[in-house]
Homo-oligomer: A and B are copies of this chain.
Amino acid sequence: MLNSVTDALRADLTSKLPAAAFRELTEAYLREPRGRYKGADGFLVAPDCTQDVATVVRACSDAGVGIIPYGGGTGLVGGQVMESGPTPVILSLERMTKIRDVFPKENVLVAEAGVILASVQEAADAVDRLFPLSLASEGSARIGGNLSTNAGGVNVLRYGNARDLCLGVEAVMPDGSILNGLSRLRKNNTGYDLRHLLVGAEGTLGVITAASLKLFPKPAGEGAALMAVPDPQAAIDLLALAGDLLGHQVSGFELINRMGLTFLAEVGPEVRAPFDDPPEWMVLIDVGCVAGLDPAQALERLFEAGAERDLVTDGVIAQSGAQRDAFWNIRESIPEANRRIGSVSSHDISVPVGRIPEFISRAQQAIARVDDFRINCFGHVGDGNLHFNIFPVIGNSRADHDHQRSDVKRILHDLAADMEGSISAEHGIGRLKVADLNRYSDPIKLATMRTIKAALDPKGIMNPGAVISA
C-alpha cells in the first residue's frame, strides 16, 4: 500500500534539490488532452539532471510514495494522470531539455527526456539529418514520453516505432539507481536488452532520463500524393504495389475517409479540399526518394500502375513542398476536427495489414447494429493501425450515446482481438485500457509482466495504476 506525500518528504526533497525544481502544480498537470481523466493532487518536482531524478525516486522509494512521470502531457490514455489514491509525486522531465551530443557521421543524437519532439527533429535537421518520429502532438510531446509510450505516428512504415529509433537509454530505476545505457552502438549483444523493456513500459519500471537516438540521411527528394481508392482493399493492394515499385522509399501511407473531410468542413480547422467531389476513401502517400529519382515521377508511376489495376480512381500529386504540406495538413487536422465534433468512442486498434478491409467492413456492420452513428475511420493503414472513431449523427450529442459507449468499445475491441489484432496500436495502455489489457492479453504475457513489475518495483511506486492493475 502506498503512502501520500508527507510534509517530511516535501521537506526532504526541498532540502536536497535546488529551488528551481519546485513549481506550482497548475491544472495543466492534472489534465489530459481528451479530458477523461482529472488528477486529484500531487507534489510537483521538476529536476534538471539525472542525479536529481534519482534523488527524487530514492526518496519516494524510502517513503513508499507513488511517482507519476510526466513528459509533455499529450498521452491519450491517462498514463500521466492519477485520479485517486494516495497523493503522488508528479515527476516532470520538463527541465531536462539538453541535447547532450550529436554525431552526424554516426547518425546518432543523445537527448534528455524533456526535449520536445519537434526540437529533436530540429537538432537533427541542423546537421542535415532526419529524426523520423513524427506525430500530431510533436510540438509539445517530449521525447522521454515518446519512448516510454513507444510512440508511433506517420513514419512507422519506413522507420519504425519510437523503440526502433532508440539505441540506448539512461534511466532511473525504481530504487533510485541509475541505469547507464546510453549506448550509441549499432551492435551490442551483452545481456538482456533493458532498453526495450523500459521503452513502452509507460513509466512503470523506471524513468527514462535520456536516450541515444538514431538519425538518418535525409531523403534526396520528398513528395506526396492523395489518391482516391475504390475501397479499403484497393488501399491495401496499392500499398503492396507501392512496396514493389518504390521499395522503402514509401514513408507514409495514410487512409482517409470522406467523413474526415466532412468534419473538417463542419467544424474546422480550415483546410484546402483536395478533391471537388471527395471520394469515400483516399490514401495519402508520402515518399522520400534516393538521389536520381524524382518523387513526383515516382508517384506518377505508382498512380499509373495503380490505375491500370483499378486500384486508383483519381489522384493529385503534390507539385511543391507547400502542396505536400497542405496534404499533410488535412491528415493532421482530422484529430482536431474529431475533438471538436466530440466522439462517442475513439479507438486505436491494429490488425494484420492484410485484414484491414475485413476489419472495417465487420466493424461498420457491428456498429450499425448498435445505433445510427457517424464513423470516421482513418489512420496509419500501412502499419495496420486504424483510428476507428465513432460520432453522433447531426442532431444528436455525445451524451445521447453515453449508455452505448461501453458496448461500442467492447464490440470493436472484441473484433480486433478476434482478428489477431491489438486494442492499443500506438497510444499504449495508460489507465484507460488496463481492464482491456487484462481481458485481451495472453494470460502468460500478463503473468510475466506482473512478475517483472513485482521484481523491479516491489513497492509499486512507479506510475501506480498504469498498465498493470494493482
Scoring A108, A160, A177, A290 by chain B CB atoms within 10 A of each residue's CB, the highest score goes to A290
A156 to B167, CA, bound (A): 14
Q: Is the CB of B184 within 8 A of A429?
A: no
A124 to B26, CA, bound (A): 55
Contact with B along A262-298 (1 / 0, CB 8 A): 0000000000000000000000000000111100001
Contact of A219 with B by CB under 8 A: yes
Q: Across the interface, name the chain B residue whose C-beta is closest to A77.
A: B189
Q: Which of B193, B217, B440, B441 sits near A247, CB closer than 8 Å?
A: B217
Contact of A414 with B by CB under 8 A: no
How far is the CB of A426 from the nearest CB of chain B, in Å? Answer: 5
A384 to B167, CA, bound (A): 13
Contact of A393 with B by CB under 8 A: no
Contact with B along A229-262 (1 / 0, CB 8 A): 0000000110010011111110000000000000
Contact with B along A421-459 (1 / 0, CB 8 A): 111111111000100010011101111110110111000
Q: Across the interface, name the chain B residue whose C-beta is closest to A216.
A: B248
Q: Is the CB of A449 within 8 A of B200?
A: no
Q: Is the CB of B456 within 8 A of A190?
A: no
Q: Is the CB of A350 within 8 A of B427?
A: no
Q: Which of B244, B420, B449 sits near A217, CB closer than 8 Å?
A: B244
Kindly state the interface size class of chain A when it binds its partner: 35 or more
Contact of A39 with B by CB under 8 A: no
Q: Across the interface, name the chain B residue whose C-beta is closest to A160.
A: B164
A452 to B452, CA, bound (A): 6
Known: A200-B189, A290-B249, A437-B191. A107 touches B183 (CB 8 A): no
Determine the chain B residues whose CB is within 8 A of the CB of A292 once the complex forms. Answer: 292-293, 298
Contact of A178 with B by CB under 8 A: yes
Query: In the complex this chain forms, how many copies of it are found?
Result: 2
Contact with B along A44-80 (1 / 0, CB 8 A): 0000000000000000000000000000000000000
Q: Is the CB of A425 within 8 A of B152?
A: no
Determine the chain B residues whose CB is within 8 A of the CB of A178 once the complex forms. Answer: 444
Q: Is the CB of A446 within 8 A of B385?
A: no
A247 to B251, CA, bound (A): 14
Contact of A38 with B by CB under 8 A: no
Determine the chain B residues whose CB is within 8 A of the CB of A447 once the complex forms. Answer: 177
Q: Is the CB of B385 within 8 A of A108?
A: no
Q: Is the CB of B353 within 8 A of A290?
A: no
Contact of A194 with B by CB under 8 A: yes
A193 to B424, CA, bound (A): 13
Known: A105-B240, A449-B194. A186 touches B156 (CB 8 A): yes
Interface of chain A residues 379 through 438 with chain B (CB within 8 A): 380, 382-385, 420-429, 433, 437
Contact of A180 with B by CB under 8 A: yes
A334 to B442, CA, bound (A): 45
Q: Which of B173, B200, B293, B446 sits near A193, CB closer than 8 Å?
A: B200
Q: Which residues of A contact B (CB under 8 A)?
A: 103, 105-108, 149-150, 152, 156-157, 160-161, 163-164, 173, 177-181, 183-194, 196-197, 199-201, 205, 216-217, 219-220, 236-237, 240, 243-249, 290-293, 298, 350-354, 380, 382-385, 420-429, 433, 437, 440-442, 444-449, 451-452, 454-456, 467-468
Beyond A188-B350, A192-B449, 5 additional pairs, beta carbon < 8 A: A105-B353, A190-B440, A190-B441, A196-B197, A290-B290
Task: List 10 A-B pairs, Cβ < 8 Å.
Answer: A105-B240, A108-B352, A161-B187, A179-B445, A184-B352, A185-B351, A189-B428, A190-B424, A192-B197, A217-B248
